[in-house]
Structure 1
Amino acid sequence: MINLPEAFDTFSEARKAGFIEIMKLKEEGRKVVGTYCTFTPWEIIMAAGAIPISLCGTSNEPIAAAEEVLPRNLCPLIKSSYGHAITDTCPYFYFSDMLVGETTCDGKKKMYEYLGEIKPMHIMQLPQSGSNGKSLALWRDEIISLKERVEKEFNVEITYEKLKKAIKDRNEQRKALKEFYELALFCPPPISGYEMFQVLNGANFKTSKEEQVDSVAALTKQIKELYDKGARRNLQDSPRILITGCPIGGVSEKIVKAVEDNGGVIVCFENCSGVKAIDTLVDEDKDPFEALAEKYISIACSCMSPNNNRIELLSELIDKYRVQGVIDVILQACHTYNIETYSVKRLVNEKKNLPYISIETDYSQNDTGQLKTRLAAFVEMLDA
């Protein structure tokens, strides 16, 4: 077992360190836009000279406060997001000048109405029939509407040149993160899935995007050099597992750690914080609004119907990463992802002939023991 590169610590602590950095940037007059979903085109915000930042929504602590307004049988991500807002326990929310959300699910869009009473809120109406011509045109118009709202809110002009540069810069971030997570293509992988998740999640909280690219690239290079020298963190025959489903920021400790503490290794995250949002670049040669619309409308979220993109992406990832088992993580009351477990199971069991398990959970610790037992048995089955 090799020692962790020190850089892992900077990514795991990036969210906390970013609080201070955001405060300094606000004092310098910079604008901050808080976002809740990977459908938000950060390029628009960057082109306005503002800072896009993902808002808190992965902690169980503020959920009790949120349940005084929101129903208990609601997705924990939604309740946590609202709870942080009303309890003022998310510095990123506090420093945000405006918020952007999308109508990915009924719970979110109704929660956004309440957030709009606290902060300026812009809601993008997401077409949910995939990337057909009509949906693409509607989404392009929504992106233009976001541009106009940001320009008005911050009294700036987003020119084509600024937008083109933002697209290029954001693509560079995606390339750096993609090169990093593709380290898991090695057999055995040079890092654990938990370490991979720390970097993928933490990178979003680095306010300097140049620093983000440089730090991820440097870490990737360091890991490759150690690997070439024979350093190994995983056994050659550790079962290679893919995680799909809902965002796992609030349950990574329960799921990922349980898998890897029992001898498995997560080689791919298909979720929003992983491959799904990063793998595809924005076409830098097209009209920027058309290119942004094409990129973001193609994200394989379960809110889309039909959602063939997700099945196709999963099929490619299973083959590419030589996956031996799939874990489908569903947050409580997330109906679209829960219903899609049937489609994912058919793909994994029938077409790929691989083991599959579906886990439904929330942000509490109540089911931790049960999950450890189930996931240990799943890994043991893969080992056998």
Structure 2
Amino acid sequence: MNEVAQISEDVRNASVSTDPIAAYDELRQQCPVMHDRHLHRVLFRHEDVLSVLKDHKTFSNAVSRHVSVPNGMDQPEHTVYRALIEPYFSAERMAAFEPVCRQIAANLVKQAPKNREFEFIEDFARVYAVQVQCAFLGWPESLHEPLNQWVRKNHQATLAQDRQAMSDIALEFDGYIRSLLKERRQAGNQAPNDITTALMRETVNGQPVPDEVIVSILRNWTVGELGTIAACVGILVKYLAERLKLQHQMRYKPKLLPATIDEILRIHPPLMASRRVASKAVTIGGQAIEAGERLTLLWASANRDEAVFGNPDELRTDREPSQNLLYGAGIHICPGAPLARLELRLVMEELLRDTSRFSLGENTWPVHAKYPAGGFDALPVKLFVENCCGACS
């Protein structure tokens, strides 16, 4: 096997291993820029990934065949649509949504089994992600179960890399959105006063926003949010379940929770990678990249780079926040970061407040998600409540 083929095989094997994060740590030491026949040029180092993120002129975000607004756009189109969506994640909107989001989290914690093992990802984390996203967008509760089923199908198709199934499932999701848009148009002035209706009334350059663009925006917000929030909640609960001292500290010092959440998700990323395309020839990490060449930016490696973070497994809440690439960097930094941070803080606050402790289950083991997903596909957890009468079990 020649050297290029061996490198390609190393990246593929790392991505499908039982512990890809540890495998990426090892590969980062060997060769910071690798070639892979599936992932193309793979960047492992924080310095290289950050340089690509900040150079939007050289590295294009237009990597998909499908309309992707605005994260799949370049300037000047990206700037126009970014300005349209950013107000939906303003501090004022987050403050208004906080009590609704907290109530959803509190209800789920109250309803969750106590003092016995249960499947946390399927029965809590994914349910929470669907419910808070529907509430944020103003979607009806009748969509909860269809979206839960859709998440399962999408996850299975992605794992299998079944392109036809993935395409069919995407069309199914678009159908949900188009039905919501149709209902609101039929309702006219009686349409719900929510974010989905507000998007329908937006204009760009004096013209109404086309349905194709509205569908893309809502798809990006929802599809990304559902999988990522569920993954994040699972990662956070597992991390604290294995560290009872830190879990206890978070209960009694909740002001430390936001920084701790970001740091845990740096250590164990919910998103493994993103993509770019080089618009011109350039050199990265001492290697020549040709115009048109595709790149994979490996968050799961860059956010653990020893050159920036020292011991990548050390949890430190005093790190420079801008070094953490959890939500990206540059003009394409995640616009929904304020919403994600709010949702994660509130669900962890409620879990910590309404339990005496939580731990991993004893009868089954966590199952790691497979690339490109992060987190866990299955996570057995026990939520303990002192003096529980047993009725909640």
Tell which has more relative contact order, 1 or 2 (C-alpha 8 A, sep 6+): 2
Structure with max Cα Rg: 2
TM-score, normalised by the number of residues in structure 1: 0.26
TM-score, normalised by the number of residues in structure 2: 0.25
